[in-house]
Amino acid sequence: MAPDFREPHHLPKHRAGAPGPPPGLPRQRRGTTPQMRGRYPDHDVLARAGHWDAATRRLVLDRVENPPPIRFFDAREASTLAAFCDTVCAQEAEPRIPVLAYVDDKLHGGRLDGYQHAGMPDDREVWRRVARGLDDAAREHGLDSFAALPADVRREIVGAFADGDLSGGVWDHMPPDKAWGVVTRSVLAAFYSHPWAWNEIGFGGPAYPQGYARMGVGQREGWEGDEAFEVDPVGDVLERGAE
């Protein structure tokens, strides 16, 4: 039987340490996904925009069509942090969601999250210090900027950050685990508020005023795309040694 997404073999806990996306991911056929991979090759949320209420449509389309300019970070910070955001979100190729643009806009507008851990600086300062900390780590690898590092080294550093495993420099005055919480909160919100990411994961989107009616297991609205598993015929034949 051909493999498909019903089985869990493609999930990270079932293929520990395997780099890159799992095999079998189709290319996007309708609309855009980050890096044009996804599970739902014919699902394009933006094609539904005409069915959304005006307030939602304005907000979501503006997010896609007019990514805000970088105003909060300076050029050096922006380059380092854009590379950081792309490493956290595994965006190694175009098309990319401009994650840092949304983060910068939020910080520029002072739209923070409503709490701050005792002993931690303001979220805006946390971001600046993280940029310095990442560049410090790059210098240990002989390069001046985190953005200049090869992808595997960037992943190594981000992995240490995620594990709270950084020390010295900025980290002596800012626990890395708390800083990780601050920055990832904004990174995830920026990435997964973008319709390209909704296409990739098969999310139905705003759905107002229309709503959903087909809620059962395996059901979908007529306009929701279905999941697809794609096998490259040439590679498959070679792999299985089939004629």
Partner 1 sequence: MSLQTRLKGAVGPPDNDSRHLLDPHARGIPGRAAMRTFDDADEVDLLIVGCGAGGAVLAQRLARAGWRIVVLEKGPFFDPDSDWVSDEEGARSLYWTENRVIGGEDPVELGQNNSGVGVGGTMLHYAGYTPRFHPSDFETHTRDGVGADWPLSYWELKAHYERVEAELPVAGQDWPWGDPHSYPHSAHPVGGAAERAQDGARAVGIEMRVGPVGIPSGTFGNRPHCIYRGFCIQGCKVNAKASPLVTHVPDAIAHGVEIRADSMATRVEVDERGRCTGVTYVKGGRERFQRAAVVAVAGYSIETPRLLLNSTSRRFPKGLANGEDQVGRYVMVQGAPHVAARFPDLMRMYKGPPPQISSEQFYETDERRGFARGFSIQTVGPLPIGWAGHVLADGHWGEALREYMRDYNHWTTLGMLCELLPRAENRVTLAGELDLNGMPIARLDYTQCDNDRKNIAYAKSKLYEIWEAAGAQDTLEIDRYAHLVGGCRMGTSPEESVVDRDHRAWEVPNLLVADTSAMPTQGSANPALTTMALSSRLADRLVAKAAPSASATGAVAVRRAVAAA
Binding to partner 1 by CB under 8 A, coded x per residue (else -) over 110-139, reads -xxxxxxxxx--x-----------------
Site membership for partner 1, residue 145 (CB under 8 A): no
- Whole-number minimum distance, CB 242 to partner 1, in Å? 26
What does the alpha-carbon distance between residue 12 and residue 34 come to, in Å, rounded to a whole number? 19
Closest C-alpha to 103, from 111, 115, 92, 93: 111
Cβ neighbours of 215 (radius 10 Å): 8
What does the alpha-carbon distance between residue 106 and residue 103 come to, in Å, rounded to a whole number? 5
Closest C-alpha to 107, from 78, 130, 127: 127
> Please, which of residues 32-61 interact with partner 1 by CB under 8 A?
38-39, 52-53, 55-56, 59-60
- Whole-number minimum distance, CB 186 to partner 1, in Å? 10
Query: Nearer Cβ to partner 1, position 76 or 231?
Result: 231
Binding segment toward partner 1, per CB under 8 A, in 3-11, 65-73, 93-101, 232-240: 3-11
Query: Nearer Cβ to partner 1, position 30 or 76?
Result: 30
Q: Residue 37 forms beta bridges with which residues?
A: 27
Binding to partner 1 by CB under 8 A, coded x per residue (else -) over 202-241, reads xxxxxxxxxxxxxxxxxxx---x--x--------------
Site membership for partner 1, residue 150 (CB under 8 A): no
- Whole-number minimum distance, CB 237 to partner 1, in Å? 26
Q: Which residues contact 41 (CB under 8 A, 6 or more apart)?
A: 26, 27, 28, 29, 30, 225, 228, 230
Query: Nearer Cβ to partner 1, position 209 or 241?
Result: 209
Closest C-alpha to 148, from 101, 84, 202: 84
